[in-house]
Amino acid sequence: MNVLIKLFGAVVSIVAGLIGTKIVNSVWEKTTGNKPPTGKDDTPTSLRSALTFALISSIVSTVIQVLANRGTQRAIARFARTQDIT
């Protein structure tokens, strides 16, 4: 059972991270009018733009990771309580 709980936590974190990335990218594009600076394209970007995007992305990523971990821990605790009752 412990393996399933860890797998559940990993899946939740990955899905939340992917959703967060899509949100940050779309908000960046709507706000600035430019595609996010990923380094994969040949479009020149300023250092300020790249650092700003990196800062925003890391903040959102950290918040998502903390929330996903807390939610997973709550789900684990709730599951453990229901197993103790039955």
Q: Name the average pLDDT for the chain.
A: 85
At 81, is the pLDDT very low, low, confident or very high (cuts 50, 70, 90)?
Answer: confident
Q: Assign residue 45 a region: left if phi > 0, alpha if psi is -120 to 50, beta otherwise?
A: beta
Between residues 83 and 69, the one the model is more confident about: 69
> Is residue 8 domain-resident?
no
- Spell out a b/e string for 27-63, using b for 16 or more CB atoms within 10 Å of the CB, else e: ebeeeeeeebbeeeeeeeeeeeeeeebeeebeebeee
> Is residue 52 domain-resident?
yes
- Give the pLDDT score at 43: 72
pLDDT at 28 over 90: yes
Number of compact structural domains in the chain:
1
> Is residue 58 domain-resident?
yes
The DSSP symbol for 52 reads H
- Give the pLDDT score at 2: 66
Residue 72 belongs to domain spanning: 48-86
> Is residue 54 domain-resident?
yes
pTM equals 0.75
pLDDT, mean of residues 2-26: 85
